[in-house]
Amino acid sequence: MSDQKKGVSRRKVIKTGAAGIIGAGVAPMVFTRGAWAQEFRNNPTGSEVTFGLNVPQTGAYADEGADELRAYELAVKHINGEGDGGMLNTMQPLSLQGNGINGKKLAYVTGDTQTKSDAARDSARRMIERDGAIMITGGSSSGVAVAVQSLCQEMGIIFMAGLTHSNDTTGKDKRRYGFRHFFNTHMSGAALAPVLSAEYGNERKAYHLTADYNWGWSQEGSLIDSTEALGWETTAAVRTPLGAGDFSQYITPVLNSGADVLILNHYGRDMVNSLTQAVQFGLRDRQQNGKNFEIVVPLFSRLMAQGAGENIKGILGSTNWNWSLQDAGSQAFVKSFGAEYGFPPSQAAHTCYVQALLYADACQRAGTFYPPEVIRALEGFKFDGMGNGPTEYRAEDHQCFKDVLVVRGNQNPTSEFDLLEVIQEVPRAQVEYDAAIFGGELGPYEVS
């Protein structure tokens, strides 16, 4: 990788001296990419094209961000024809040729979202305005995804969302320049419902604990809809403050509420803490209404499973992807990720890797980096061999439609990564919905 950005010569580094050290690696871009010479923002005129990788490097999701970054670095290698090619060997149809994109070598710059909208937008603006990034990608929360997506629309830069699960990203807040490969809460609900019905029956009383912000509400709404359609009753839906730490005061009312299922609409550390504590309060040892009390965590990730430890065992949830999948695409990705880093990738890494490839492939197919053309190449694009079966980027809302995994916390893990057991790959048809139900407008192709 060290041969990237050859523009920085030794002489230049010495000349700019101490004060310039910080800027030396990137400052030349300021001169080479003058805004006047291009018909669209950051049109790559040199021999390189730059991606802006905007991931959480500090804060609660730093480990997830680190995994995203690993996946991106791998994707860049594969697109440039280095390494074993990963999913380039399995993706169908494929326009990329392993020589960069449109004959230009792929480079990247990185930034820290801090999982804060302001910081994420600051960082995205730096990569767009200073580093000349042609595309921004990454992130680990819906708030950040929506914020960066709307910025990218204004700036005329395509945004390939990382991990974001709220319906809003491709619903109410969708944008022409934003694309999401990850699934959403509606799909989680639709995929989980039949499994919940099969495992726990149709006469259940559910109690929701919900993180008190947009994503939590989104998931709570989706789960209530899909479980009530099964005939379940919703006993209560209680909102908990983000980062509450100790959830005991929210968990104890569940005990005497008459509910026999607890649905935890939490993510990240909230989920790790609330699940750990719910298990400690003996919820899973209880009998209620003549049935075993159950806990459901609608959105799972391997990192969360690691944080929750043994408490995750036997718990049902959904996930976008898991490294244990046996299809050729997943295998190719897991192999090359494992060879590079020594452990298997997370679902966040997978979605980011796929997003980078999809964007690169779309540029190659369009034969240009001109965003409106690339957007048209992505809209309605049907592909396979990237780990979730046949997939489509729906044109109406830029949401990928694909199979969704229902998983269970592994009872007998064979390694520290073997935490989730895929119990069902819910087919795409079952989780599809009408794009109109969430409203929102994509906006124009051309941005002034």
Partner 1 sequence: MLTLPKKELITFLIFAVVVLSMPVWLIPFGASYPGLLQTFAIFGLFAVGFNILFGLTGYLSFGHAAFLGVGSYTAVWSFKLFTMNPIPAIIFAIIISGVFALLIGFISLRRSGIYFSILTLAFAQMSYNLAYSVLTPVTNGETGLALTMQDPRIIDLAFSERGEALPQVALFGLNMAGYGGFYFAAIILILGYFVAQKIAISPFGMMLKGIKSNQNRMGYTGLNTKPYTLAAFVISGMYAGLAGGLLAVTDPLAGAERMQWTASGEIVLMVVLGGIGTIFGPVLGAWIIKYFANIFSAINENILHNMFSFLPASVQDFLVPLLALFVGEGWELTMGLMFVLVVVFLPGGLMEGYRRIAVRISAMSSKETKSVDKPAQTDKQAGGE
Partner 2 sequence: MDAILVQFLNGLDKGGAYALIALGLTLVFGTLGVVNFAHGALFMLGSFCAVAFRKLLLLERIELSETELSPWGTALEIRTPYVNEIFGAYGDVLIDWSVPISILVAIPIMLLIGIAMERGLIKHFYKRPHAEQILVTFGLAIVLGEIIKTIFGANPIPQPMPEVLRGTADIGVLFGMAENAVTYPWWRMIYFLFSLSLIGAVFAFLRFTTFGMVVRAGMADREMVGLLGVDIDRRFTIVFGIAAVVAGLAGVMYTPILPPVNTLGMDFLVLSFVVVVVGGMGSLPGAVAAGFLLGILQSFASLPEVKAIIPGIDQVIIYLVAVVILLVRPRGLLGKSGVMEN
Q: Which residues bind partner 2 (CB under 8 A)?
A: 58-63, 66, 212, 236, 238-241, 243, 245-246, 248-250, 252-253, 255-256, 269, 272-273, 276-277, 280-282, 285-286, 303, 306-311, 323-324, 334-335, 337-339, 342-344, 415, 417-418
Sort 413 into a burial class: Cβ within 10 Å, 0-12 / 13-18 / 19+: middle
Binders of partner 1 among residues 127 to 166 (CB under 8 A) are 127-131, 142-143, 146-147, 150-151, 153-155
Q: Decide: is 447 part of the binding site for partner 1 (CB under 8 A).
A: yes
Q: How far is the CB of 413 from partner 1 (least distance, A)?
A: 28
Beta carbon nearer to partner 2, 249 or 448: 249
Of 120, 114, 116, 221, whose CA–CA distance to 167 is shortest?
Answer: 221
Q: Which of 121, 266, 350, 428 binds partner 1 (CB under 8 A)?
A: 121
Positions 242 through 261 that interact with partner 1 (CB under 8 A): 242
Query: Which of 229/437 has CB closer to partner 1?
Result: 437
- The least CB distance from residue 425 to partner 2, in Å, is 18
Q: Quick one: 26 or 422, whose CB is closer to partner 2?
A: 422
Side-chain half-sphere CA neighbours of 92 within 13 A:
9
Q: How far is CA 210 from CA 259, 318, 348, 404, in A?
A: 15, 16, 22, 22
Q: Cα–Cα distance between 7 and 63 in angstroms, integer?
A: 32
Structure tokens given for 137: 């990608």
What mask, x for binding partner 1 by CB under 8 A, covers residues 40 to 69? Answer: -----------------xx---x--xx---
- Give 249's contacts (C-beta < 8 A, 6+ positions apart): none
Residues 6 or more apart in contact with residue 227 via CB below 8 angstroms: 189, 193, 196, 204, 206, 234, 263
State the amino acid at position 242 in one-letter form.
L
- Percentage helix, strand, coil, to 5, in the chain? 45, 20, 35
d(CA 413, CA 153): 44
Minimum gap (Å) between residue 156 Cβ and partner 1: 10
Q: Does 220 bind partner 1 (CB under 8 A)?
A: no
Nearest to 105 by CA among 47, 147, 59, 158: 47
8 A C-beta contact, residue 69 and residue 361: no
**Does residue 14 belong to the site contacting partner 1 (CB under 8 A)?**
yes
Please, what is the minimum distance in Å from the beta carbon of residue 171 to partner 1?
A: 11
Nearest to 124 by CA among 91, 157, 78, 87: 157
DSSP 129: I
Binding of residue 229 to partner 1 (CB under 8 A): no
Instruction: Tell me how far apart the alpha carbons of residues 332 and 348 are, in angstroms, rounded to a whole number.
Output: 17
CB 257 to partner 2: min, Å: 8
Both structure tokens of 443: 């906006």
The site partner of 1 among partner 1, partner 2, none (C-beta below 5 to 8 Å per kind) is: partner 1
30 binds partner 1 (CB under 8 A): yes
Give the residue with the Cβ less far from partner 2, 200 or 323.
323
Q: How far is the CB of 324 from partner 2 (least distance, A)?
A: 7
Contact positions toward partner 1, by CB under 8 A?
1-2, 4-5, 8, 10, 13-14, 16, 19-27, 30, 57-58, 62, 65-66, 108-112, 116-119, 121-123, 125-131, 142-143, 146-147, 150-151, 153-155, 168, 173, 212-215, 239, 241-242, 441, 443-444, 447-448
